[in-house]
Amino acid sequence: MRPKDLDKEKAIRTMALQIIAEEGLENLSMQKLAKAANISPRTIYIKYENKEDLLIKLFVEEVLGAYEQATLKDFRETMDFETGVKKIWLNLFAYCKTNKEAFVLMQYGKSSPLLNKAFQEKNITEGQFFAPIHRFLKRHAKNGTIKSFPIAVHRALLFSPILDLVNEYFEHKDRPRQIVTEKVILECCDMVIKGMLL
Partner DNA sequence: ATTTAATAAGTATACGTTTGTTTACTTATG
Partner DNA sequence: CATAAGTAAACAAACGTATACTTATTAAAT
Site residues for DNA per CB under 7 A = 1-5, 8-9, 28-32, 34, 38-46, 50-52
Which listed option, DNA, its own copies, none, makes contact with residue 66 (CB within 5 to 8 Å by class)? none
DSSP 146: B
Binding mask 156-175 for its own copies (x = CB under 8 A): xx-xxx-xxx-xx--xx---
**Helical packing angle, 100-111 and 81-98, nearest 10°:** 110
Which listed option, its own copies, DNA, none, makes contact with residue 111 (CB within 5 to 8 Å by class)? its own copies
**Residue 112: Cβ-neighbour burial (10 angstroms; 0-12, 13-18, 19+):** middle
118 binding its own copies? (CB under 8 A): no
Which listed option, DNA, its own copies, none, makes contact with residue 110 (CB within 5 to 8 Å by class)? its own copies
Q: Name the segment binding its own copies (CB under 8 A); options: 21-29, 40-48, 80-88, 136-144.
A: 21-29
First-to-final CA distance of the chain: 65
133 binding its own copies? (CB under 8 A): no
Total binding residues toward its own copies, as defined by CB under 8 A: 41
Which listed option, its own copies, DNA, none, makes contact with residue 188 (CB within 5 to 8 Å by class)? its own copies
DSSP string for residues in 37-54: TTS-HHHHHHH-SSHHHH
CB 55 within 8 A of CB 113: no
CA–CA gap between residue 120 and residue 149 (Å, rounded): 20
CA–CA gap between residue 44 and residue 121 (Å, rounded): 24
Neighbours of 109 (CB within 10 A): 22
Which listed option, DNA, its own copies, none, makes contact with residue 105 (CB within 5 to 8 Å by class)? none
192 binding its own copies? (CB under 8 A): yes
Any bridge partners for residue 146, and if so which? 197
Which of 1, 6, 124, 152 touches its own copies by CB under 8 A?
A: 152
Q: Name the segment binding its own copies (CB under 8 A); options: 6-14, 73-81, 88-96, 147-155.
A: 147-155
